[in-house]
A = this chain, B = another copy of it.
Amino acid sequence: MGITKSEIFTAEQNKLASLFKALGHPARIAILQYIINQKACICNDLVDELGLAQATISQHLKELKNIGIIQGTIEGKSVCYCIDEKLWKQIQEEFNVFFNQEVIVTSCCS
């Protein structure tokens, strides 16, 4: 075990969980905040700002790229990472759809 049984869940559940999961690390939250505020968008600058090794930052950037929330464009010998605003809003919307589900209150807790 240790492996998630994705096959017993719907595609939507797996998708939503993977989005949450990608944001479920403080380094990735910090990276996104730096990029948003344009304090840093270059991998090396992020390495200086956060206290993590270059290999580690690169790995986190990859995970963020995987869900599409950021994209990287080559700028000379470095890479500029930016928020994909369309996907940013789309992910926010997916989260809100989830949270806006109406809670049925025929609950045994009430």
Contact = CB atoms under 8 A, between A and B. Distances in A.
Contacts of A41: 107-109
Contacts of A96: 92, 96
Nearest to A101: B36
Given A21-B21, A26-B13, A30-B13, A107 B82 contact: yes
A17 B95 CA distance: 15
Interface in A93-108: 95-96, 98-104, 106-108
A21 to B, nearest CB: 3
Interface string A15-47: 011101111111111100100111001000000
Interface of A: 4-6, 8-10, 13-14, 16-18, 20-30, 33, 36-38, 41, 50-52, 71, 73, 75, 80-83, 85, 88-89, 91-92, 95-96, 98-104, 106-110
7 contacts: A6-B26, A20-B21, A21-B24, A73-B108, A80-B109, A82-B108, A96-B96
